[in-house]
Amino acid sequence: MSEKKEIIINCGISQVSAGIFSKQGDSILLEQVGLETLRYNYSSEEQWLDCFSEGLKKLCAREKIKGNARFIFPGCLLLTKTIRVPHVEEEKQKKIVAFELMQKMPVPLTELIWDYQVIDDDGVEQEILAFAVKPKVAEDFCEKVMEIGLNPVQITPAPVLDYNALRASGIGLDSGETLVVNIGARSTNLLFINPTGFLLRPLSIGGNSLTQNISDNLGTQFEKAEEIKKNYFSGEVAFSADDPSVQLLENCSKQFLARLSQEITRSLVTYKRLKKGKSPSRMYLAGRGALLNQLPEYLSQSQRLDIDYFDPLQALVLSDSVSQEMRNLLPFMLSEPVGLASSIFSADGSEQSALTKTINLLPESKLTNLNFKKKQPLLLVSAFLLSLTPLPALLTNYQESESLSAELEDAKDIRGPLIGFHEGMESKSNTLDFLQYFTKEMHSRNQIYQQQGKTLWKLRVLLNHLQNSLEYEDISDTWFDEFKITGRNQDGQKNPSRSTQDSTPVLKLSGRYLVRPTVESNSDKAALRENLIELNQKKQRALTSHLKELPIIAELRSDVFKTSGKGDLENKYFTYFEFEIILN
Protein backbone atom coordinates (compact mmCIF):
# COMPACT_ATOMS: atom_id res chain seq x y z
CA MET A 1 0.00 0.00 0.00
CA SER A 2 1.38 3.42 -0.98
CA GLU A 3 2.61 5.70 1.78
CA LYS A 4 2.06 9.02 0.01
CA LYS A 5 1.49 10.34 -3.50
CA GLU A 6 3.25 13.15 -5.36
CA ILE A 7 2.01 14.85 -8.54
CA ILE A 8 4.96 15.95 -10.69
CA ILE A 9 4.42 18.14 -13.78
CA ASN A 10 7.28 18.39 -16.29
CA CYS A 11 6.89 21.75 -18.08
CA GLY A 12 8.61 21.19 -21.41
CA ILE A 13 8.90 23.62 -24.29
CA SER A 14 7.17 21.31 -26.78
CA GLN A 15 5.18 19.09 -24.41
CA VAL A 16 3.83 18.84 -20.88
CA SER A 17 3.69 15.59 -18.93
CA ALA A 18 2.13 14.71 -15.59
CA GLY A 19 2.95 11.72 -13.39
CA ILE A 20 1.66 10.47 -10.05
CA PHE A 21 4.40 8.80 -8.00
CA SER A 22 4.22 6.97 -4.67
CA LYS A 23 6.57 5.09 -2.37
CA GLN A 24 6.02 1.36 -1.94
CA GLY A 25 8.52 -0.15 0.43
CA ASP A 26 11.97 0.48 -1.04
CA SER A 27 10.61 1.18 -4.56
CA ILE A 28 9.04 4.16 -6.32
CA LEU A 29 5.76 3.36 -8.10
CA LEU A 30 4.56 5.28 -11.17
CA GLU A 31 0.80 5.02 -10.69
CA GLN A 32 -0.36 7.24 -13.54
CA VAL A 33 1.21 9.23 -16.37
CA GLY A 34 -0.03 11.42 -19.20
CA LEU A 35 1.45 13.52 -22.02
CA GLU A 36 0.14 16.47 -24.00
CA THR A 37 1.98 17.93 -27.02
CA LEU A 38 2.05 21.74 -27.23
CA ARG A 39 1.29 23.16 -30.65
CA TYR A 40 2.61 26.66 -31.30
CA ASN A 41 5.66 28.35 -32.79
CA TYR A 42 8.37 26.90 -30.52
CA SER A 43 10.73 29.73 -31.43
CA SER A 44 8.38 32.27 -29.74
CA GLU A 45 8.93 32.46 -25.97
CA GLU A 46 5.92 34.79 -25.51
CA GLN A 47 3.46 32.09 -26.66
CA TRP A 48 4.76 29.37 -24.34
CA LEU A 49 2.87 30.15 -21.10
CA ASP A 50 -0.58 30.46 -22.69
CA CYS A 51 -0.07 27.33 -24.81
CA PHE A 52 1.34 25.46 -21.82
CA SER A 53 -1.65 26.32 -19.61
CA GLU A 54 -4.07 25.17 -22.32
CA GLY A 55 -2.18 21.89 -22.77
CA LEU A 56 -1.98 21.31 -18.99
CA LYS A 57 -5.71 22.00 -18.65
CA LYS A 58 -6.52 19.34 -21.26
CA LEU A 59 -4.08 16.88 -19.66
CA CYS A 60 -5.49 17.35 -16.13
CA ALA A 61 -9.07 17.01 -17.37
CA ARG A 62 -8.23 13.81 -19.26
CA GLU A 63 -6.20 12.22 -16.44
CA LYS A 64 -8.40 13.67 -13.62
CA ILE A 65 -5.43 15.28 -11.86
CA LYS A 66 -5.82 18.01 -9.23
CA GLY A 67 -4.38 19.01 -5.85
CA ASN A 68 -0.84 19.80 -4.67
CA ALA A 69 1.73 19.47 -7.45
CA ARG A 70 5.46 19.97 -8.01
CA PHE A 71 6.56 21.65 -11.25
CA ILE A 72 9.80 21.19 -13.22
CA PHE A 73 10.85 24.38 -15.04
CA PRO A 74 12.81 24.28 -18.32
CA GLY A 75 16.27 25.80 -18.10
CA CYS A 76 15.56 28.46 -20.75
CA LEU A 77 13.24 30.30 -18.31
CA LEU A 78 15.90 30.55 -15.62
CA LEU A 79 19.11 32.44 -14.85
CA THR A 80 21.94 30.03 -14.01
CA LYS A 81 25.30 30.77 -12.35
CA THR A 82 28.10 28.53 -11.11
CA ILE A 83 30.42 29.94 -8.41
CA ARG A 84 33.06 28.65 -6.02
CA VAL A 85 32.98 29.55 -2.32
CA PRO A 86 34.96 28.44 0.74
CA HIS A 87 33.77 25.34 2.59
CA VAL A 88 31.90 26.73 5.64
CA GLU A 89 29.09 25.75 7.99
CA GLU A 90 25.66 25.53 6.43
CA GLU A 91 24.25 28.51 8.37
CA LYS A 92 27.01 30.79 6.99
CA GLN A 93 26.92 29.32 3.52
CA LYS A 94 23.84 31.16 2.25
CA LYS A 95 25.21 34.59 3.22
CA ILE A 96 28.46 33.93 1.35
CA VAL A 97 26.59 32.59 -1.69
CA ALA A 98 24.29 35.64 -1.70
CA PHE A 99 27.27 38.01 -1.56
CA GLU A 100 29.00 36.27 -4.48
CA LEU A 101 25.81 36.12 -6.57
CA MET A 102 25.26 39.87 -6.12
CA GLN A 103 28.46 40.38 -8.07
CA LYS A 104 27.63 37.84 -10.80
CA MET A 105 23.91 38.17 -11.56
CA PRO A 106 22.90 40.62 -14.32
CA VAL A 107 19.87 41.63 -12.21
CA PRO A 108 19.99 42.70 -8.51
CA LEU A 109 19.49 39.66 -6.30
CA THR A 110 16.66 41.39 -4.42
CA GLU A 111 14.65 41.44 -7.66
CA LEU A 112 14.89 37.66 -8.16
CA ILE A 113 13.61 34.47 -6.58
CA TRP A 114 16.71 32.30 -6.19
CA ASP A 115 18.00 29.11 -4.63
CA TYR A 116 21.14 27.01 -4.91
CA GLN A 117 22.72 23.65 -4.23
CA VAL A 118 26.24 22.34 -3.71
CA ILE A 119 27.35 20.32 -6.72
CA ASP A 120 30.95 19.59 -5.77
CA ASP A 121 32.88 19.69 -2.51
CA ASP A 122 36.56 18.85 -2.04
CA GLY A 123 36.60 19.85 1.64
CA VAL A 124 38.30 23.20 0.97
CA GLU A 125 36.03 24.81 -1.62
CA GLN A 126 32.48 24.16 -2.70
CA GLU A 127 31.10 24.43 -6.22
CA ILE A 128 27.70 26.14 -6.06
CA LEU A 129 25.04 25.97 -8.78
CA ALA A 130 22.45 28.75 -8.39
CA PHE A 131 19.19 29.24 -10.26
CA ALA A 132 17.01 32.35 -10.29
CA VAL A 133 13.73 33.39 -11.88
CA LYS A 134 12.02 36.75 -12.14
CA PRO A 135 9.08 37.06 -9.69
CA LYS A 136 6.66 38.05 -12.46
CA VAL A 137 7.44 34.88 -14.43
CA ALA A 138 6.89 32.68 -11.37
CA GLU A 139 3.78 34.59 -10.22
CA ASP A 140 2.14 34.46 -13.67
CA PHE A 141 2.93 30.76 -13.91
CA CYS A 142 1.43 30.04 -10.46
CA GLU A 143 -1.75 31.98 -11.26
CA LYS A 144 -2.23 29.96 -14.47
CA VAL A 145 -1.84 26.55 -12.84
CA MET A 146 -4.01 27.50 -9.83
CA GLU A 147 -6.83 28.38 -12.22
CA ILE A 148 -6.62 24.81 -13.53
CA GLY A 149 -7.04 23.35 -10.02
CA LEU A 150 -3.42 22.61 -9.14
CA ASN A 151 -1.77 24.02 -6.03
CA PRO A 152 1.99 24.55 -6.64
CA VAL A 153 4.19 23.43 -3.73
CA GLN A 154 7.53 23.49 -5.58
CA ILE A 155 9.12 24.91 -8.73
CA THR A 156 12.47 23.26 -9.43
CA PRO A 157 14.85 23.56 -12.41
CA ALA A 158 15.05 20.64 -14.82
CA PRO A 159 18.80 20.65 -15.66
CA VAL A 160 20.01 19.17 -12.33
CA LEU A 161 17.42 16.40 -11.97
CA ASP A 162 19.14 13.96 -14.34
CA TYR A 163 21.82 13.51 -11.67
CA ASN A 164 19.24 12.34 -9.12
CA ALA A 165 17.70 9.98 -11.68
CA LEU A 166 21.06 8.36 -12.47
CA ARG A 167 21.78 7.94 -8.75
CA ALA A 168 18.39 6.32 -8.20
CA SER A 169 18.76 3.99 -11.18
CA GLY A 170 21.72 2.21 -9.60
CA ILE A 171 24.24 3.07 -12.34
CA GLY A 172 27.73 3.12 -10.83
CA LEU A 173 28.84 6.77 -10.82
CA ASP A 174 31.70 6.60 -8.32
CA SER A 175 34.15 4.62 -10.43
CA GLY A 176 34.89 7.24 -13.09
CA GLU A 177 33.74 10.24 -15.11
CA THR A 178 30.33 10.10 -16.85
CA LEU A 179 28.68 12.46 -19.34
CA VAL A 180 24.90 12.72 -19.76
CA VAL A 181 23.59 14.54 -22.86
CA ASN A 182 19.93 15.57 -22.48
CA ILE A 183 18.64 17.02 -25.77
CA GLY A 184 15.53 19.15 -25.39
CA ALA A 185 13.51 21.34 -27.70
CA ARG A 186 15.34 24.63 -27.11
CA SER A 187 18.60 23.60 -25.45
CA THR A 188 20.87 20.67 -24.60
CA ASN A 189 22.21 20.05 -21.11
CA LEU A 190 25.60 18.43 -20.60
CA LEU A 191 25.92 16.82 -17.16
CA PHE A 192 29.50 15.86 -16.22
CA ILE A 193 29.41 13.49 -13.23
CA ASN A 194 32.49 12.66 -11.15
CA PRO A 195 32.94 10.82 -7.82
CA THR A 196 32.75 14.07 -5.77
CA GLY A 197 29.84 15.77 -7.55
CA PHE A 198 28.82 17.05 -10.95
CA LEU A 199 29.16 19.99 -13.35
CA LEU A 200 26.40 21.37 -15.57
CA ARG A 201 26.91 23.06 -18.93
CA PRO A 202 23.92 24.19 -21.04
CA LEU A 203 24.20 24.40 -24.85
CA SER A 204 21.97 26.71 -26.89
CA ILE A 205 21.15 23.99 -29.40
CA GLY A 206 18.18 21.65 -29.38
CA GLY A 207 15.46 20.13 -31.49
CA ASN A 208 14.24 23.60 -32.46
CA SER A 209 17.59 24.28 -34.15
CA LEU A 210 16.99 21.38 -36.54
CA THR A 211 13.41 22.51 -37.12
CA GLN A 212 14.53 26.07 -37.94
CA ASN A 213 17.14 24.75 -40.38
CA ILE A 214 14.48 22.65 -42.13
CA SER A 215 12.10 25.64 -42.18
CA ASP A 216 14.77 27.87 -43.79
CA ASN A 217 15.69 25.28 -46.44
CA LEU A 218 12.10 24.34 -47.34
CA GLY A 219 10.87 27.93 -47.17
CA THR A 220 7.94 26.94 -44.94
CA GLN A 221 6.60 28.04 -41.57
CA PHE A 222 8.16 26.80 -38.35
CA GLU A 223 5.07 24.79 -37.31
CA LYS A 224 4.96 22.99 -40.67
CA ALA A 225 8.70 22.25 -40.54
CA GLU A 226 8.25 20.75 -37.02
CA GLU A 227 5.52 18.45 -38.34
CA ILE A 228 7.70 17.33 -41.28
CA LYS A 229 10.63 16.67 -38.91
CA LYS A 230 8.57 14.50 -36.58
CA ASN A 231 6.95 12.56 -39.43
CA TYR A 232 10.24 11.82 -41.18
CA PHE A 233 12.56 11.03 -38.28
CA SER A 234 9.96 9.05 -36.33
CA GLY A 235 9.03 6.98 -39.39
CA GLU A 236 5.33 7.75 -38.99
CA VAL A 237 5.14 8.87 -42.64
CA ALA A 238 7.03 7.06 -45.39
CA PHE A 239 8.82 9.34 -47.87
CA SER A 240 9.53 8.03 -51.35
CA ALA A 241 13.18 7.58 -52.30
CA ASP A 242 13.03 10.13 -55.13
CA ASP A 243 11.37 12.80 -52.95
CA PRO A 244 13.71 15.84 -53.08
CA SER A 245 12.82 16.63 -49.47
CA VAL A 246 14.54 13.45 -48.25
CA GLN A 247 18.02 14.60 -49.24
CA LEU A 248 17.36 18.04 -47.77
CA LEU A 249 16.20 16.53 -44.46
CA GLU A 250 19.27 14.29 -44.31
CA ASN A 251 21.56 17.26 -44.98
CA CYS A 252 19.88 19.26 -42.20
CA SER A 253 20.27 16.28 -39.87
CA LYS A 254 23.98 15.98 -40.65
CA GLN A 255 24.49 19.71 -40.03
CA PHE A 256 22.71 19.42 -36.69
CA LEU A 257 24.79 16.38 -35.67
CA ALA A 258 28.02 18.11 -36.67
CA ARG A 259 27.20 21.27 -34.72
CA LEU A 260 26.10 19.30 -31.64
CA SER A 261 29.29 17.22 -31.76
CA GLN A 262 31.43 20.37 -32.02
CA GLU A 263 29.74 21.92 -28.97
CA ILE A 264 30.22 18.71 -26.98
CA THR A 265 33.89 18.60 -27.99
CA ARG A 266 34.43 22.21 -26.81
CA SER A 267 32.76 21.40 -23.50
CA LEU A 268 34.91 18.28 -23.07
CA VAL A 269 38.07 20.32 -23.60
CA THR A 270 36.95 22.84 -20.96
CA TYR A 271 36.05 20.04 -18.55
CA LYS A 272 39.43 18.36 -18.97
CA ARG A 273 41.16 21.66 -18.21
CA LEU A 274 39.08 22.13 -15.04
CA LYS A 275 39.60 18.54 -13.88
CA LYS A 276 43.32 18.45 -14.70
CA GLY A 277 43.14 15.99 -17.57
CA LYS A 278 40.25 13.81 -16.43
CA SER A 279 37.59 13.15 -19.06
CA PRO A 280 34.40 11.04 -19.27
CA SER A 281 34.77 7.40 -20.24
CA ARG A 282 31.11 6.86 -21.08
CA MET A 283 28.12 8.85 -22.33
CA TYR A 284 24.37 8.53 -21.81
CA LEU A 285 21.72 10.10 -24.06
CA ALA A 286 18.41 11.40 -22.65
CA GLY A 287 15.46 13.50 -23.82
CA ARG A 288 13.19 13.09 -26.82
CA GLY A 289 15.73 14.89 -28.99
CA ALA A 290 18.03 11.88 -28.52
CA LEU A 291 15.73 9.84 -30.82
CA LEU A 292 17.24 11.52 -33.90
CA ASN A 293 18.45 8.96 -36.45
CA GLN A 294 22.17 7.99 -36.30
CA LEU A 295 22.77 10.22 -33.26
CA PRO A 296 24.41 7.52 -31.06
CA GLU A 297 26.57 6.23 -33.90
CA TYR A 298 27.70 9.72 -34.90
CA LEU A 299 28.59 10.82 -31.38
CA SER A 300 30.29 7.51 -30.58
CA GLN A 301 32.52 7.87 -33.63
CA SER A 302 33.25 11.59 -33.16
CA GLN A 303 33.79 11.49 -29.39
CA ARG A 304 35.23 7.96 -29.13
CA LEU A 305 33.10 7.12 -26.09
CA ASP A 306 30.86 4.22 -25.14
CA ILE A 307 27.32 5.56 -25.68
CA ASP A 308 23.99 4.24 -24.45
CA TYR A 309 20.49 5.57 -23.87
CA PHE A 310 19.69 6.32 -20.24
CA ASP A 311 16.63 4.41 -19.05
CA PRO A 312 15.11 6.08 -15.94
CA LEU A 313 12.59 3.24 -15.66
CA GLN A 314 15.27 1.21 -13.86
CA ALA A 315 14.42 3.25 -10.75
CA LEU A 316 10.65 2.71 -11.06
CA VAL A 317 7.91 0.14 -10.76
CA LEU A 318 5.18 0.78 -13.37
CA SER A 319 1.51 0.42 -12.52
CA ASP A 320 -0.62 -1.85 -14.71
CA SER A 321 -2.70 1.20 -15.65
CA VAL A 322 0.20 2.64 -17.72
CA SER A 323 -0.52 1.82 -21.38
CA GLN A 324 1.97 0.08 -23.65
CA GLU A 325 2.08 3.15 -25.92
CA MET A 326 3.17 5.31 -22.99
CA ARG A 327 5.70 2.70 -21.84
CA ASN A 328 7.55 3.09 -25.16
CA LEU A 329 7.86 6.88 -24.66
CA LEU A 330 8.67 6.93 -20.94
CA PRO A 331 12.46 6.31 -21.19
CA PHE A 332 12.83 9.53 -23.22
CA MET A 333 10.51 11.82 -21.21
CA LEU A 334 10.79 10.70 -17.59
CA SER A 335 14.37 11.33 -16.47
CA GLU A 336 13.65 14.70 -14.76
CA PRO A 337 10.42 13.54 -12.99
CA VAL A 338 12.21 10.38 -11.78
CA GLY A 339 15.05 12.56 -10.45
CA LEU A 340 12.61 14.77 -8.52
CA ALA A 341 10.60 11.79 -7.21
CA SER A 342 13.72 9.99 -6.00
CA SER A 343 14.83 13.13 -4.13
CA ILE A 344 11.40 13.59 -2.50
CA PHE A 345 11.10 10.00 -1.32
CA SER A 346 14.71 9.99 -0.05
CA ALA A 347 14.35 13.26 1.88
CA ASP A 348 15.15 11.59 5.19
CA GLY A 349 18.81 11.63 4.14
CA SER A 350 19.41 7.91 4.51
CA GLU A 351 19.72 7.30 0.79
CA GLN A 352 20.54 10.78 -0.42
CA SER A 353 23.74 12.80 -0.39
CA ALA A 354 23.89 16.55 0.15
CA LEU A 355 24.58 17.00 -3.55
CA THR A 356 21.09 15.88 -4.58
CA LYS A 357 18.83 18.25 -2.66
CA THR A 358 16.18 19.86 -4.85
CA ILE A 359 15.75 23.59 -5.37
CA ASN A 360 12.48 25.46 -4.81
CA LEU A 361 11.83 28.69 -6.75
CA LEU A 362 8.22 29.05 -5.60
CA PRO A 363 7.35 32.70 -4.73
CA GLU A 364 7.33 33.44 -0.99
CA SER A 365 3.65 34.48 -1.10
CA LYS A 366 2.70 31.04 -2.43
CA LEU A 367 4.76 29.30 0.26
CA THR A 368 3.02 31.38 2.95
CA ASN A 369 -0.38 30.53 1.49
CA LEU A 370 0.57 26.85 1.38
CA ASN A 371 1.67 26.84 5.04
CA PHE A 372 -1.58 28.53 6.01
CA LYS A 373 -3.62 25.91 4.17
CA LYS A 374 -1.79 23.16 6.01
CA LYS A 375 -2.65 24.78 9.36
CA GLN A 376 -6.20 25.71 8.37
CA PRO A 377 -7.92 22.53 9.74
CA LEU A 378 -6.16 22.96 13.10
CA LEU A 379 -7.07 26.65 13.22
CA LEU A 380 -10.71 25.86 12.47
CA VAL A 381 -10.84 23.26 15.23
CA SER A 382 -9.14 25.67 17.65
CA ALA A 383 -11.58 28.46 16.75
CA PHE A 384 -14.53 26.11 17.27
CA LEU A 385 -13.25 25.01 20.68
CA LEU A 386 -12.56 28.62 21.64
CA SER A 387 -16.10 29.58 20.66
CA LEU A 388 -17.40 26.93 23.08
CA THR A 389 -15.53 28.45 26.05
CA PRO A 390 -18.34 30.80 27.20
CA LEU A 391 -21.03 28.15 26.62
CA PRO A 392 -21.20 26.81 30.25
CA ALA A 393 -21.52 30.34 31.61
CA LEU A 394 -24.21 31.18 29.07
CA LEU A 395 -26.17 28.04 29.94
CA THR A 396 -25.89 28.79 33.65
CA ASN A 397 -27.02 32.38 33.13
CA TYR A 398 -29.86 31.22 30.93
CA GLN A 399 -31.05 28.74 33.57
CA GLU A 400 -30.80 31.38 36.28
CA SER A 401 -32.68 33.83 34.08
CA GLU A 402 -35.42 31.29 33.47
CA SER A 403 -35.61 30.53 37.20
CA LEU A 404 -35.82 34.22 38.08
CA SER A 405 -38.50 34.78 35.48
CA ALA A 406 -40.55 31.94 36.89
CA GLU A 407 -40.15 33.23 40.44
CA LEU A 408 -41.15 36.71 39.32
CA GLU A 409 -44.33 35.38 37.78
CA ASP A 410 -45.12 33.46 40.96
CA ALA A 411 -44.42 36.56 43.03
CA LYS A 412 -46.85 38.58 40.94
CA ASP A 413 -49.55 35.99 41.52
CA ILE A 414 -49.13 35.83 45.27
CA ARG A 415 -47.80 39.32 46.06
CA GLY A 416 -50.92 40.19 47.95
CA PRO A 417 -50.59 37.46 50.57
CA LEU A 418 -46.80 37.90 50.73
CA ILE A 419 -46.69 41.61 51.51
CA GLY A 420 -46.05 40.76 55.12
CA PHE A 421 -43.05 38.71 54.13
CA HIS A 422 -41.16 41.62 52.56
CA GLU A 423 -38.06 40.95 54.65
CA GLY A 424 -37.64 37.55 52.90
CA MET A 425 -37.13 39.32 49.60
CA GLU A 426 -33.87 40.96 50.77
CA SER A 427 -32.02 37.81 49.77
CA LYS A 428 -33.22 38.31 46.21
CA SER A 429 -31.99 41.91 46.33
CA ASN A 430 -28.57 40.73 47.51
CA THR A 431 -28.41 38.34 44.54
CA LEU A 432 -29.09 41.18 42.13
CA ASP A 433 -26.42 43.33 43.81
CA PHE A 434 -23.92 40.54 43.36
CA LEU A 435 -24.75 40.24 39.66
CA GLN A 436 -24.21 43.99 39.22
CA TYR A 437 -20.86 43.79 41.03
CA PHE A 438 -19.89 40.80 38.90
CA THR A 439 -20.77 42.68 35.69
CA LYS A 440 -18.75 45.71 36.77
CA GLU A 441 -15.69 43.58 37.60
CA MET A 442 -15.87 41.77 34.25
CA HIS A 443 -16.04 45.10 32.41
CA SER A 444 -13.00 46.39 34.35
CA ARG A 445 -10.91 43.31 33.55
CA ASN A 446 -11.80 43.40 29.86
CA GLN A 447 -10.43 46.95 29.59
CA ILE A 448 -6.88 45.53 29.99
CA TYR A 449 -7.32 43.33 26.94
CA GLN A 450 -8.80 46.19 24.93
CA GLN A 451 -5.77 48.34 25.81
CA GLN A 452 -3.39 45.55 24.80
CA GLY A 453 -5.19 45.25 21.45
CA LYS A 454 -4.57 48.94 20.78
CA THR A 455 -0.90 48.51 21.75
CA LEU A 456 -0.50 45.70 19.20
CA TRP A 457 -1.79 47.99 16.41
CA LYS A 458 0.72 50.68 17.48
CA LEU A 459 3.50 48.09 17.35
CA ARG A 460 2.44 47.20 13.81
CA VAL A 461 2.60 50.91 12.81
CA LEU A 462 6.14 51.08 14.28
CA LEU A 463 7.28 48.03 12.32
CA ASN A 464 5.80 49.44 9.08
CA HIS A 465 7.64 52.74 9.58
CA LEU A 466 10.95 50.96 10.19
CA GLN A 467 10.43 48.68 7.17
CA ASN A 468 9.56 51.61 4.87
CA SER A 469 12.66 53.52 6.01
CA LEU A 470 14.88 50.74 4.61
CA GLU A 471 13.57 51.45 1.10
CA TYR A 472 15.45 54.78 0.87
CA GLU A 473 18.39 54.54 -1.51
CA ASP A 474 20.87 56.28 0.81
CA ILE A 475 20.41 53.61 3.55
CA SER A 476 20.08 50.56 1.32
CA ASP A 477 21.85 47.30 2.31
CA THR A 478 20.74 47.82 5.96
CA TRP A 479 19.26 45.17 8.20
CA PHE A 480 18.15 44.95 11.83
CA ASP A 481 19.49 42.27 14.21
CA GLU A 482 17.70 43.14 17.47
CA PHE A 483 14.32 44.80 18.10
CA LYS A 484 13.44 45.09 21.81
CA ILE A 485 10.90 47.34 23.54
CA THR A 486 11.06 48.00 27.31
CA GLY A 487 9.04 50.25 29.59
CA ARG A 488 10.88 53.05 31.41
CA ASN A 489 9.82 56.04 33.51
CA GLN A 490 10.46 59.59 32.40
CA ASP A 491 13.75 59.59 34.36
CA GLY A 492 14.95 56.55 32.34
CA GLN A 493 14.84 54.01 35.24
CA LYS A 494 12.83 50.79 35.19
CA ASN A 495 9.93 50.71 37.66
CA PRO A 496 8.24 47.31 37.89
CA SER A 497 5.59 48.69 40.28
CA ARG A 498 4.13 50.95 37.60
CA SER A 499 1.93 49.62 34.79
CA THR A 500 2.87 49.72 31.11
CA GLN A 501 0.30 52.44 30.46
CA ASP A 502 2.11 54.83 32.88
CA SER A 503 5.62 54.26 31.47
CA THR A 504 7.47 55.56 28.42
CA PRO A 505 8.29 52.81 25.87
CA VAL A 506 11.96 52.59 24.90
CA LEU A 507 13.09 50.73 21.77
CA LYS A 508 16.53 49.13 21.59
CA LEU A 509 17.33 48.73 17.89
CA SER A 510 20.59 47.26 16.58
CA GLY A 511 21.77 45.98 13.23
CA ARG A 512 24.32 46.37 10.46
CA TYR A 513 24.62 48.09 7.14
CA LEU A 514 26.85 47.30 4.18
CA VAL A 515 29.21 49.97 2.83
CA ARG A 516 29.94 49.51 -0.86
CA PRO A 517 33.27 51.18 -1.79
CA THR A 518 33.24 53.39 -4.87
CA VAL A 519 36.90 52.74 -5.63
CA GLU A 520 38.40 49.49 -6.88
CA SER A 521 39.12 46.97 -4.12
CA ASN A 522 42.63 46.36 -5.50
CA SER A 523 43.56 50.07 -5.37
CA ASP A 524 45.70 51.75 -2.72
CA LYS A 525 44.69 50.58 0.79
CA ALA A 526 44.78 54.09 2.20
CA ALA A 527 42.50 55.40 -0.54
CA LEU A 528 40.14 52.48 -0.04
CA ARG A 529 40.08 53.07 3.71
CA GLU A 530 39.36 56.80 3.31
CA ASN A 531 36.61 56.00 0.83
CA LEU A 532 35.04 53.50 3.24
CA ILE A 533 35.20 55.98 6.16
CA GLU A 534 33.62 58.74 4.09
CA LEU A 535 30.80 56.48 2.81
CA ASN A 536 30.29 55.07 6.33
CA GLN A 537 29.89 58.57 7.82
CA LYS A 538 27.46 59.50 5.06
CA LYS A 539 25.38 56.39 5.65
CA GLN A 540 25.57 56.90 9.43
CA ARG A 541 24.16 60.41 9.08
CA ALA A 542 21.48 59.27 6.63
CA LEU A 543 20.32 56.43 8.89
CA THR A 544 20.17 58.70 11.98
CA SER A 545 18.32 61.38 10.00
CA HIS A 546 15.72 58.94 8.64
CA LEU A 547 15.04 57.52 12.10
CA LYS A 548 14.61 61.01 13.61
CA GLU A 549 12.06 61.87 10.92
CA LEU A 550 9.80 58.92 11.77
CA PRO A 551 6.61 60.32 13.41
CA ILE A 552 6.43 57.51 15.97
CA ILE A 553 9.93 58.30 17.35
CA ALA A 554 10.06 61.03 20.03
CA GLU A 555 13.80 61.05 20.72
CA LEU A 556 17.03 59.23 19.85
CA ARG A 557 18.43 58.84 23.37
CA SER A 558 21.73 57.30 22.26
CA ASP A 559 23.39 55.88 19.19
CA VAL A 560 26.47 53.69 18.84
CA PHE A 561 28.30 52.87 15.58
CA LYS A 562 31.12 50.30 15.54
CA THR A 563 33.36 49.74 12.54
CA SER A 564 35.35 47.07 14.35
CA GLY A 565 34.52 44.33 16.82
CA LYS A 566 30.86 43.79 16.08
CA GLY A 567 31.43 45.64 12.82
CA ASP A 568 34.19 45.12 10.24
CA LEU A 569 34.41 48.09 7.89
CA GLU A 570 37.90 47.61 6.49
CA ASN A 571 37.73 43.88 5.75
CA LYS A 572 34.08 43.03 5.16
CA TYR A 573 32.66 46.51 4.51
CA PHE A 574 29.94 46.59 7.16
CA THR A 575 29.26 48.68 10.29
CA TYR A 576 27.38 47.71 13.45
CA PHE A 577 24.91 50.22 14.94
CA GLU A 578 22.80 50.39 18.09
CA PHE A 579 20.11 52.96 18.98
CA GLU A 580 18.15 53.61 22.17
CA ILE A 581 14.93 55.29 21.04
CA ILE A 582 12.18 56.97 23.04
CA LEU A 583 8.92 56.16 21.26
CA ASN A 584 6.13 58.68 20.82
pTM of the predicted protein model: 0.61
Each residue's pLDDT tens digit, 34-63:
999 888 877 777 888 899 999 999 999 999
The pLDDT assigned to 576 comes to: 93
Q: pLDDT confidence of 145, banded at 50, 70, 90? A: very high
* Separation of alpha carbons 537 and 469, rounded Å: 18
The answer to which of 29-33, 88-92, 112-116, 168-172 has the lowest mean pLDDT is: 168-172
Please tell me the least confidently modeled range out of 21-25, 105-109, 455-459. Answer: 455-459
pLDDT tens string 84-120: 889 888 888 888 888 888 888 888 888 889 898 888 8
The 10s digit of each residue's pLDDT in 468-488 is 878 788 888 898 889 898 875
Q: Where are the domains of the chain?
A: 5-374, 470-583
Closest CA to 20 of 360, 374, 322, 356: 322
- Give 392-433 pLDDT, tens digit per residue: 777 788 888 888 888 887 777 776 666 666 666 777 888 888
Tens-place pLDDT, residues 209-229: 888 888 888 888 888 888 888
Q: Which CATH class is domain 5-374?
A: alpha beta
> Helix, strand or coil for residue 527?
helix
Mean pLDDT score across all residues of the chain: 82
7-11, 140-144, 157-161, 377-381: which has the minimum mean pLDDT?
Answer: 377-381
- 261-287 b/e with 16+ CB inside 10 Å = b? bebbeebbeebeeeeeeeebeebbbbb
Cite the beta strand spans of 113-230 per DSSP E: 113-121, 125-133, 150-157, 178-183, 188-194, 197-203
**Residue 1: predicted pLDDT:** 44
Percent of the residues in the chain that have a pLDDT greater than 70, as a whole number: 87
The pLDDT of residue 9 is 93
Given this model, what pLDDT does residue 351 score? 41
pLDDT value at residue 416: 65
State the first-to-last Cα distance of the chain, in angstroms, to the nearest integer. Answer: 63
- Determine how β-strand 282-286 pairs with β-strand 306-309: parallel
- Cα-Cα-Cα-Cα torsion 414, 417, 419, 424, nearest 10 degrees, comes to -70
- What backbone torsions phi and psi does residue 318 show, to the nearest 5 degrees? -90, 135
